[in-house]
Amino acid sequence: MPYGKAPRKQLDSRPAGAKPRKSHPSAIARREIHSKGDNLVIDKQSFQRLVKEISVDVLSRGIRFDSHAIMAMQDGTEMYTSSLIGDAQLCAKFANRATVFPCDIWLALRLNGQ
């Protein structure tokens, strides 16, 4: 005796015999880029303040940044940082440890040639 109700069939809103619409590859890529836009680890405003603070320290005056430029910098920074932490985690695993130490990060930097 089955438990619960049987699942209903989804009703198709297309007319009979119509083919499903295919999305253009660039539209699919654009949709993926825009959907992942809010999956950042660092807060946007905190990162923006950090970038502006560094620009003032380097050039002794503030620079105006486009919001897309800051997003690109943040995306690149997070990708680099997550890659570095992943490499450091592998170094810690190789040493039979579960905790990442600073020596693991230094080793990962040296192995990457930096």
| Domains annotated on the chain, with CATH | 42-111 (1.10.20.10)
Task: Kindly state the average pLDDT of the residues 74-87.
Answer: 91
More confident residue, 47 or 17: 47
Written as six digits, the tokens of 62 are 């503030």
Q: In the chain, which ranges are E strands? A: none
Phi, psi torsion values for 35, nearest 5 degrees:
-75, -25
C-alpha–C-alpha distance, residues 11 and 14, integer Å: 9
Reported as a pLDDT band with limits 50, 70 and 90, residue 25 is confident
Residue 40 DSSP one-character state: -
pTM of the prediction? 0.60
40 contact partners, CB below 8 Å, separation of at least 6 = 74, 75, 78
Phi, psi torsion values for 32, nearest 5 degrees:
-65, -40
49 contact partners, CB below 8 Å, separation of at least 6 = none
CB 55 within 8 A of CB 36: no
Task: Kindly state the average pLDDT of the residues 22-34.
Answer: 69
Task: Kindly state the average pLDDT of the residues 18-39.
Answer: 68
pLDDT at 11 (0 to 100): 63
